[in-house]
Amino acid sequence: MAKSALLIGEKSDIGVTIKTYLKKEGYVVTGTTSSTLDLSSKESVDNFLLKNNKKFNSIIFVAATNTPKKFLNLKDKDFDYSYDVNFKSFVCILKSLISKMPTNSNSSIIIISSLFSSFGRDKRFLYSSSKHFLNGAMKNLAIELGTYRIRVNSIAPGFIDTKMTRNNNSNNSLSKIIKKIPAGRLGKPKDIAEVVMFLLSSKSSYITGQELVVDGGLTAGGFWGD
């Protein structure tokens, strides 16, 4: 029987690539976009859960919003939107679906996090703090869901060549960053998708509660400056 995966955020550059890899491995993929699942809307989340009340072998969370803005300029609506999209709605979805996940197979929850789950950066308060929330959730879920044979891990991409990365960093800034990456380049979405597939496989059956950093060696050199 084919395995099923819920991919939240299938239209992002990383999400599209993950979906391609999943299908190659024979997964039946239920993907979401901002039009089929608005993570900023409780009504949309509730409606999605009503329509997708089924078992998934794996749940992969890719969706995120990241609009750089100074902390002192943030409004209440900015906090609500970012935390709903990047964290709160995903936790609500998990709470509803976890009890239906198969517990006698290699079930897995994977969160696409960020280097900003461990580091900060100017104008990234909301993005960074929400990724910190996700990382804490991942560790605690790994402890509690281990009893049910459900593994929970996160992947922290470095600077991946995506539309979000290029929208939020000038060419000059990216050039400076690339010079600090031992691998000598920006990451590619496939670099993340291949780690996702490893974490879904039986080859990683003893890995849970971990954040895998995929950054080309950037953080091996410590903190970078803008």
Give me 84's structure tokens: 């709903």
- Which of 21, 81, 127, 148 is catalytic? The answer is 127
CB 79 within 8 A of CB 93: no
CA neighbor of 198 nearest in space, from 138, 156, 161, 155: 155
Class of residue 67 by CB neighbours under 10 A (exposed 0-12, middle 13-18, buried 19+): middle
Q: Phi then psi for 30, rounded to 5 degrees?
A: -100, 110
CA-wise closest residue to 150 among 113, 211, 98, 90: 98
User: Is-catalytic flag, 127?
Assistant: yes
Known catalytic residues are: 127
